[in-house]
């Protein structure tokens, strides 16, 4: 593990960064952190390759080392879905009344279609099992409050 004191000295912040509502980190560090987080997350290779025939072809041709490595280093940043999380239609509609109305009015065929096309990119949670994780990500990624000058 990298000691917090090392990062604190390299990045110029206190070892207790929770004192600040926001801090800047180098882009390369941000990418490194996200990619390493993604490596520890569930990945459904078969579904990823089925949804991304260009990646399947690149893998067959030996242009990429693995589907997961493609997802981690490129696919995630291209908004491709590598996790294929479980989806609960009734729960999703109950948590997203705007989507429920759109489905009832025939503007969208289902909650699953909405999630695939829009909800995932909007940060909407697909099922109750993942709700705590989504809530935590939303809390830590909320914009920092603006200070008055």
Is the per-residue pLDDT at 10 higher than 60? yes
| Pick from 68, 73, 64: nearest CA to 35 | 73
Is the per-residue pLDDT at 11 higher than 90? no
Cα 35 to Cα 30: distance, rounded to the nearest angstrom: 9
pLDDT number for residue 28 = 94
| Pick from 109, 108, 115, 121: nearest CA to 87 | 115
Paired tokens of 135: 């809530």
pLDDT number for residue 15 = 65
Query: What pTM was computed for the model?
Result: 0.74
The model's pLDDT over 48-94, given as tens digits with 9 standing for 90+, comes to 999 999 999 999 999 999 999 999 999 999 989 887 889 999 999 99
Is the per-residue pLDDT at 142 higher than 60? yes
Paired tokens of 91: 């729960």
Looking up tokens 């990619």, which residue turns up?
35
Cα 132 to Cα 12: distance, rounded to the nearest angstrom: 31
Share of the chain above pLDDT 70, in %: 91
Residue 95 CA from chain centroid, whole number: 19
| H/E element, 56 | helix 53-60
């Amino acid at each position: 593990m990298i000691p917090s004191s090392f990062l604190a000295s390299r990045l110029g912040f206190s070892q207790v960064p929770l004192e600040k509502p926001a801090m800047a980190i180098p882009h390369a560090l941000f990418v490194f952190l996200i990619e390493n987080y993604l490596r520890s997350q569930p990945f459904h290779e078969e579904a990823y390759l089925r949804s991304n025939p260009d990646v399947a072809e690149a893998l067959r041709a030996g242009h990429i080392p693995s589907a997961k490595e493609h997802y981690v280093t490129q696919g995630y940043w291209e908004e491709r879905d590598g996790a294929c999380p479980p989806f609960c239609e009734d729960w999703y509609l109950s948590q997203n009344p705007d989507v429920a109305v759109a489905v009832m009015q025939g503007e969208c065929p289902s909650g699953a279609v909405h999630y695939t096309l829009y909800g995932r990119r909007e940060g909407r949670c697909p099922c109750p099992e993942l709700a705590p994780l989504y809530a935590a990500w939303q809390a830590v990624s909320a914009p920092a409050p603006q200070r008055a000058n």
